[in-house]
Amino acid sequence: MADILLDFRPRITASNINNLKKIVNDLEVGQQLSVTIERTEAHHADRILNIFKNNNFKYCTKGGHKNEYYIIGTRN
């Protein structure tokens, strides 16, 4: 059971969102998924957060040192 890292930079696309939806369906309890986006895209993070909410994930957000913004979810 490996953790998964996704990078949606430079912008979040419909393809990114569709890929995320497929991946969260396959994750096991306790498995972690981290999504990196540009800080300037953070106002679009609700699309990602809603996927986590709707698929029984605990999640948190974290700003990076440069232009990164992280959304980290763990399946319950």
Residue 68 domain flag: yes
Residue 59 domain flag: yes
Q: Which CATH number goes with the domain that contains 27?
A: 3.30.1370
Q: Nearest 10 degrees: CA dihedral of 60, 2, 23, 11?
A: 60
Residue 61 domain flag: yes
- pLDDT exceeding 70 applies to what percent of the chain? 97
* CA atoms within 13 A of residue 45's CA, in its CB half-sphere: 22
pTM recorded for the entire structure: 0.90
Domain that holds residue 71: 19-75
Residue 32 domain flag: yes
Residue 49 domain flag: yes
Classify 30 as helix, strand or coil: coil
Mean pLDDT of 15-36: 96
Encode pLDDT of 44-70 as tens digits: 899 999 999 999 999 999 988 788 999
On average, the pLDDT of the chain sits at 93
Q: Per the structure, how many domains does the chain have?
A: 1
53 to each of 39, 61, 74, how far by Cα in Å?
21, 13, 11
* CA atoms within 13 A of residue 12's CA, in its CB half-sphere: 22
**pLDDT number for residue 63:** 87
